Amino acid sequence: MIMKVKSKKISLIFLLFSINLIFSQKDQSKLIPPLDIPLSISGTFGEIRSSHFHAGLDIKTGGKEGLKVRSVLDGEVSRIRVAVSGYGKAIYVDHLNGTTSVYAHLKNFSPKIESYIKKAQYEKKSYTIEKFPKNELIVSKGEVIGFSGNTGGSSGPHLHFEIRNTKNQMPFNPMIFNIDVIDTKKPVIQKLFLFHENNFGEDIITRKIEIEKIKDGLYKTAKIYTSGKIGIGLQMYDNQDLSQFNRNGVHSVKIFLNNKIISDYKYDNIKFNDSEYVNLLIDYKEFKSKKIRVQKLFKPKNSNISFIEKKDKNGKILIEDNKSYNLLVEISDFKKNTSKIEMKITGRKTNFINPTIEGELVLPEN
């Protein structure tokens, strides 16, 4: 009898303990925003930069410096860097869930971190410094760890924020962790190009296809006549409700050929080696000459980008003479706002130098 009561009591305690654990874990896993202001973005995860895929979010600070930057979860500071280039003043915080949050281009650190790094700077007699504290700088969720700034390779005040896998330091899209950015706006498609392989095996732009905006999120092209193996390239951007004038990167790309998916890639995590191939994912000639980034929607030749399909679904389309194809491209942002572009393609031998475009369509304004 006593045993029974005791075991009931134990199971009740255990139950309460488990509930408490689940709640605290749930609470623990929920990130708070790194800034106190509504988040407005001037750079999305994975967007194509001059020599790399952007590894985090660029969060706008209203043109100001000195905004409080908070640790998004409980954790311990695992790395502090002060440099004149790159991330400038940056803090890395390791969390129990196996992620590391990174806060870069800071103006300065919280007093506790500032005095730690000052001491290290005096000891090393150097401004630039890198420290890997161990169990020395514990921070709690919401604690101010620094102040936003414009240090390092930054071209205006903002917070560069990342979430990495602590084990291998590979960056995740922070949006996966509910870093909330209001976004009801669909990506904008500006220009569409066809690629063919030239005699040297390079994918080159052979045609610019006029596009017509039917309504917000829906575009069409005139009927396209072409032949051989083609690829699609888009000039496009995305923006969010609080950053309507920014031209940020999109999150995912899908191509359907006669309703069957033939290409599908998205920016959720990036490996360091991916950046080696970033200039292969755009038409480099177009970028060099016009500063326009035409993003390939197919696997670029000689590239090895971790998030782009390698074999069957490589995004290239074989157009055979006298056959007709319905092509649908879908471009989405992280909040699944989607823009579509519909194309009807008929196989016909074409001269790349003097291509035929049927119908008269007006290029939509940006």
Binding site for Zn ion (CB under 5 A): 58, 160
Dihedrals phi, psi of 102, to nearest 5 degrees: -125, 135
**CB of residue 161 vs Zn ion: minimum separation in angstroms?**
8
| Secondary structure of residue 327 in the 3-state scheme | strand
| Residues 58, 219: Cα–Cα separation, whole Å | 29
Q: Would you say the C-alpha torsion 181, 292, 302, 54 has a positive or negative sign?
A: negative
Q: Which is nearer to Zn ion, 171 or 187 (CB)?
A: 171
Question: Look-up: residue for tokens 């899209």?
Answer: 173
Residue nearest to Zn ion (CB): 160
Question: What number of other Cβ atoms are within 10 A of residue 194's Cβ?
Answer: 24
Q: Which is nearer to Zn ion, 150 or 314 (CB)?
A: 150
**CB of residue 43 vs Zn ion: minimum separation in angstroms?**
5
The pair of structure tokens assigned to 45 is 């995860």
**CB of residue 270 vs Zn ion: minimum separation in angstroms?**
13
Dihedrals phi, psi of 256, to nearest 5 degrees: -115, 130
Q: Which is nearer to Zn ion, 106 or 329 (CB)?
A: 106
**CB of residue 87 vs Zn ion: minimum separation in angstroms?**
9
What's the one-letter identity of residue 248? Answer: N
CA atoms within 13 A of residue 250's CA, in its CB half-sphere: 29
Q: Which is nearer to Zn ion, 98 or 153 (CB)?
A: 153
CA atoms within 13 A of residue 74's CA, in its CB half-sphere: 9
| Residues 53, 49: Cα–Cα separation, whole Å | 6
